[in-house]
Amino acid sequence: MLEHLKDQPADKILSLAAAYKADPREQKIDLGVGVYKNAKGVTPVMRAVKEAEARILAEQQTKAYTGLAGDPAFADAMVDLVLGGTVERDRIAALATPGGTGACRQGFELARLAKPDVRVWHSAPTWPNHLSILKFMGVEAKPYRYFDEETALVDFEGMMEYLQGVAQGDVVLLHGCCHNPTGANLTSEQIDRVTALLTEKGAMPMIDIAYQGFGDGLEADAAATRAIASRVPECLIAASCSKNFGIYRERTGLLMAISAEAGQTKTTQDNMNFLNRQTYSFPPDHGARVVATILNDPELRADWEAELEEVRTGMLALREQLAAELARLTNTDRYAFIARHRGMFSRLGVSPEMVERLREDHAIYMVGDSRMNIAGLNAETVPVLARAIVEAEKA
């Protein structure tokens, strides 16, 4: 039977990571997969995570199953981190999932369970795995214009024009902050206009928030999600703990589904639990327990926030250094957008051929659409990248 299997398309981001690893050159720069690295190129275990794990190891008395929705203490802590009390708790059903990807998948599944012919609108571009999952599920994906290649900023009027095509019962996928792959984000006024439009159309927003704390700070990065979720009747939110807690391999995420009325929440929750049961039964617990331990302990939380803030400001400094270096070398401000973008990524806006030249000639790895992971840089490699960009431009 297995001989009927066909080759699947390689995941662009993950195959790039493998190609980087296989490159024997000593001086190489990895700006591919979205994993934070410090100046030494290490993805550290955060201090608060280490401490929470030590406590769990010492204190945990059982490894018996939690619930299908995971540990309620994790859900409560995450609902609070993301929504900060802006939505009535009894309207929110919450489901622990394996990572943000699991939350996205279960969110799409929930929407399809509610409406078998649901359509999902997504920014063009978006995280490629959004599209891959939707395609695999056979859910119709509709792009909306988002990124202006010329300015490397959001083409907001273009986006609004596309969103005019949204129909009642459609899902509109938005990035809560730190847009992946572009790094270009909506302003709060633009969020207000999108929210008003989706409400008028009767569409349900679904917010993927995978980088809270990586852009303008924990609270500022949640502002768009809170503004939308507190104003629309229904909303899905897929939150990831992979990046802001640095617990990538623990697979820790949460799907929140906000219903119009508290009376709907139990049925929504039961459906979400059902989805977990059909997929893998119980979600992973270790990462969720680490997150709940940190968020519920004032000292650990303060330490986590401080370390996350160092990560964030470090990436901002790299952005500014790179923009300044490119301004100096090109004598133009055409790369100034790098300092305006937020989060882990910026889309450089250069051709796939130039991305290829950077890889071949300079051992610099970025995704084919010219998405760079800023955290793959350090103060020494920024000038190397800037010089390579200028050289590759001329080639």
| Positions marked active-site | 127, 208, 210, 243
Site for ligand LMR in 116-135 (CB under 6 A): 127, 129
Residue 64, judged by CB atoms within 10 A of its CB (0-12, 13-18, 19+), counts as exposed
Among positions 13, 228, 275, 323, the unique one binding ligand LMR when judged by CB under 6 A = 13
Rounded CA separation 125/131 (Å): 10
Q: Compute the least distance from the CB of residue 334 to ligand LMR, in Å.
A: 25
Helix/strand/coil for 30: strand
DSSP line for 200-259: HHT-EEEEEE--TTSSS-HHHHHHHHHHHHTTSS-EEEEEE-TTTTT-GGG--EEEEEE-
Provide the 3-class DSSP secondary structure of residue 139.
coil
Q: Do 170 and 121 meet the contact criterion of CB atoms below 8 Å apart?
A: yes
Q: How would you classify the pairing of strands 140-145 and 371-373?
A: unpaired
Residue (33 or 153) nearer to ligand LMR, CB = 33
Cα 303 from Cα 306, distance rounded (Å): 5
Give min distance, CB of 181 to ligand LMR, in A: 7
Nearer to ligand LMR, 13 or 258 (CB): 13
Nearer to ligand LMR, 34 or 349 (CB): 34
Binding mask of the shown chain, residues 161 to 200, with x at each position contacting ligand LMR by CB under 6 A: -------------------x--------------------
Residue 346 engages ligand LMR in binding (rule: CB under 6 A): no
Question: Closer CB to ligand LMR, residue 34 or residue 102?
Answer: 34
239 scored as a contact of ligand LMR (CB under 6 A)? no
Contact criterion met (CB below 8 Å) for 114 and 168: no
Cβ contact 293:301 at 8 Å: no
Residue 91 or 105 having the CB closest to ligand LMR: 105
# of chain residues touching ligand LMR (CB under 6 A) = 6
Q: CB 12 → ligand LMR: shortest distance, Å?
A: 9
Element (H, E) at 303: helix 298-330
Least Cα distance to 210 among 251, 171, 170 occurs for: 251
Residue nearest to ligand LMR (CB): 34
Tell me, residue by residue from 293 to 332, as one string, x for binding to ligand LMR by CB under 6 A and - for no binding.
----------------------------------------
Tokens of 288: 């969720």
Q: Least distance in Å: CB of 118 to ligand LMR?
A: 23
Residue 66 touching ligand LMR (CB under 6 A) = no
Helix and strand numbers, DSSP H then E, in the chain: 14, 13
Shortest separation between residue 252's beta carbon and ligand LMR, angstroms: 13
- Contact flag: residue 209 with ligand LMR (CB under 6 A): no
> Which 257-296 positions form the footprint of ligand LMR (CB under 6 A)?
none
Output the six-digit token pair for 367.
């995704």
Closer residue to ligand LMR in complex, CB, 34/125: 34
Nearer to ligand LMR, 91 or 243 (CB): 243
Give the residue ranges of DSSP H helices in the chain: 12-22, 47-59, 72-83, 99-114, 128-137, 156-163, 188-201, 218-229, 265-279, 286-295, 298-330, 337-340, 352-362, 381-394
Site for ligand LMR in 30-59 (CB under 6 A): 33-34
Please report, as ranges, the residues that interact with ligand LMR according to CB under 6 A.
13, 33-34, 127, 129, 180
